Structure 1
Amino acid sequence: MFPRMLSKTAMWLFLLIIAVLILFPVVMAVLGSLKSNQELNAGTSFLPSSWQFNNYAATWVQAKFSTYVVNSLIYSLGGTVTTLIVVSLAAYAFARKEFPGKKLMLGIYTSMMFISLGALTLKPQFELMVSLHLHKSIVGMIIMMTGAGGSSFFIMYAFIRSISKDLDEAAMIDGASFAHIYRKIILPLTLPAIGIVGLFSFRSGWNSYLVPLVFTMSQPKLQPLTVGLVNLRYGVAGAMQSHLMLAGACISMIPMLIIYVLANKTFMQMNVGGLKG
């Protein structure tokens, strides 16, 4: 009995330490966003001596945060929708069809997941968008946000493969086409995987900085929140506006927190499905 209680106590203590380490930077950011710039830069106190809630209003007005937030939502939601369409169709084709070069393509795609190309892909991507005349448009940015990495494809691919092919065969006997099976059978059964892929895609688009910076450098009105947040670094007089930057960072966290809360049920469904499998 005692060893069991000891192991339980150790587990809860470990989880508590992890929670503190994760939440501490968030708490510091929220408290810092409620301080004056002078007090924040001085770093002499943990709690604000005077709670500056007007920092959020100043951030929203001074940095035109409403424009940046709308742009980020358009890019993230647009990229999420296109990613779900592309990834689910590709995963369905790979899971249900046999064609020449399938194993080779899967092998290449898998190996490329472990190679970080980073900024090397920016130039060809930019040149492609320029050739298509989409480098100064919202559509071009949404195309660049499509993908969310190879992990999204393999999540959908593994989930579709776990669905019995007997359902496909029964539908084919009734006269259902390949596309009809995808719409009426596969998509409803893969909702948990779609939720996870959508979450990863939205997070990737919302937090993306380098690609939007390059593509919107000459178009300030098209800049997302991550790029606009950097504009708060210096004020009119050239002084660093740390308190406004923290307020903007806290604002940028809100949509992701809402998404994670709403997607909690999807995570549970994926975990239960994994345990059953």
Structure 2
Amino acid sequence: MQTVHRQLADKNEATESVTRRIAKQLPAKIIIWSFLLFVLVFTLFPVLISVLGSLKTNAEVTAGGTFFPQEWKFSNYLEAWRQADFARFSWNSLFISTMTTVIALLISSMAGYAINRREFPGKRFYMIVQASTMFISIGAVVLRPQFELIVAMNLNASLWGIILILLGSHAAVFFMLIGFYGSIPRELDEAATIDGCSFYGVFFRIILPLLRPGLAVGALFQFRNAWNEYIIPLVFTMTNPKMQTLTVGLANLRYGYNAATQTHLMMAGACISLLPILIVYVFANRSFMQVTAGSVKG
């Protein structure tokens, strides 16, 4: 009987302990969740305004005063697609963004592997050069030299000229992948080398598959940057409108045939341009939380 009473007392004491712990943690959790909810609303509110604005008439968007459309104009998307020639411009943006992402990931992954696994003359200088491209921005000053360089290479009539220029902004992916390389044990390289694998064989057969989470994250950022680029495609496609990207074509929706501002069509075009980024994020998000821990048994 005493044993039963003791067990009940222990249960009551444990329950009270859990209750006190929850009571202490509750204010902190309320603050954290309130902050996260505020950030969520603050982030999604402009997107919601754009989506609703894309379904209004131009007069309703300009006048304001309404949150939901009085008349849902789904035809705005078809009109924006037709006026901005979205089919051609979407293909140009997709080609530029995809090729820039693939080539940048290849260059960054190979350079990061050499930097992380090898010692060679000029290694520190190379790191400084890569870092300088991130922290030193000279903006539009380089547009003219870049354009003259592309013309001299006879790439001004091709999308490859824009791709070549955009590849210069891969330093962020390079440093990101170096961090992922640090989590891959060097014992894998040594074991593969002992088994007869060459330096390139180790990279492509062993390291690259383990680097998929880092490549996915890098692909998301590189694709987003290339997709949203505006100034470089605008400058390099002035003489050839058929090479314009979606961001440049979207800006052309600002004024219609009668020189009136078409805010509703710009919002519809902006919503259309968001879809590829969302699709890439959905696929890349699967790899965000993956780690390489457990690849080597202790």
Query: Contact conserved, 1:76 with 1:145, CA < 8 A, in 2?
Result: no
- SS at 1:146 equivalent: helix
Q: Which residue of 1 aligns with 2:44?
A: 23
Q: 1:46 aligns with which of 44, 47, 67?
A: 67
Q: Which residue of 2 is the match for residue 130 of structure 1?
A: 151
**Deviation at residue 262 of structure 1 after TM alignment:** 1.6
Report the Cα offset of residue 148 of structure 1: 3.9
Matched, 1:208 2:229: yes
Please list the CA deviations of residues 202-235 of structure 1 after superposition, one character each: whole Å capped at 9, or x if unmatched. 0011100011111111111110100000110110
Q: Which deviates more, 256-265 or 207-216? A: 256-265
Q: Is 1:57 the equivalent of 2:78?
A: yes
Give unpaired runs (5+ residues) of structure 2.
1-21
1:105 matched residue in structure 2: 126
- 1:13-47 CA-to-partner distances (Å, cap 9, x unmatched) read 11111101001100000010000011110112111
Tell me if structure 1 keeps the 8 A contact 2:183–2:292.
no
1:4 and 2:25 correspond: yes
Structure 1 residues 219, 270: closer, same or farther in 2, change over 3 A? farther
What's 1:269 paired with? Answer: 290
Whole-Å separation in 1 of the counterparts to 2:108 and 2:62: 46
Q: Which one-letter code corresponds to 1:245 in the other structure?
A: M
Q: Assess if the C-alpha contact under 8 Å between 1:147 and 1:201 holds in 2.
A: no
Question: Secondary structure of the residue that 2:253 maps to in structure 1?
Answer: coil
Match of 1:14 in 2: 35
Shift of 1:175: 2.0
Change (3 A) 1:85 1:271: closer
Aligned length: 273
Q: Look up the match of 1:75.
A: 96
Q: Which amino acid aligns with 2:274?
A: M
Contact 1:87 1:147 in 2 (8 A): no
User: Is there any run of 5+ residues in structure 1 with no aligned partner, and where?
Assistant: none
Equivalent in the alignment of 1:189: 210
**How big is each residue's C-alpha offset from its partner over 1:224-251, in whole Å with a ceiling of 9 and x where there is no partner?**
1000001101100110111100000000
Paired position in structure 1 for 2:241: 220
- Residue 37 (structure 1) aligned with residue 58 (structure 2): yes
Larger CA Rg, structure 1 vs 2? 2
For residue 135 of structure 2, give the secondary structure of its aligned residue in structure 1: coil
Letter in 1 for 2:210: L
Between stretches 100-109 and 124-133, larger displacement belongs to: 100-109
Query: Using the alignment, how far apart are the partners of 1:230 and 1:128 within structure 2?
Result: 27
| Structure 2 residue aligned with 1:114 | 135
1:270, distance to aligned residue in structure 2 (A): 5.5
Amino acid at match of 1:62: Q
For residues 143-162 of structure 1, what are the structure 2 equivalents within 5 Å? Answer: 143-162=164-183
Opposite residue 34 of structure 1, the aligned amino acid is L
Provide the C-alpha distance between the structure 1 equivalents of 2:245 and 2:224, rounded to a whole number of angstroms: 13
* CA spacing shift, 1:262–1:118, aligned 2, 3 Å: same
Aligned to 1:238: 259
Give me the whole-angstrom Cα distance separating, in 2, the residues matched to 1:53 and 1:129: 41
How large is the Cα RMSD of the aligned pairs?
1.7
| Structure-2 separation of matches of 1:253 and 1:135 | 28
Conserved 8 A contact 2:58-2:262: yes
Return closer, same or farther for 1:88/1:272 CA change in 2, 3 Å cut-off.
Answer: same
2:255 and 2:56 mapped to 1: Cα distance? 17
Please give the secondary structure, in 1, of the residue aligned with 2:72: coil
Between the aligned partners of 2:291 and 2:165, the Cα distance in structure 1 is 28
Q: Could you tell me which residue of structure 2 aligns to residue 251 of structure 1? A: 272
C-alpha separation in 2, matches of 1:161 and 1:103: 17
For 2:216 and 2:123, locate their aligned partners in 1 and report how far apart those are by CA, in whole Å.
Answer: 26
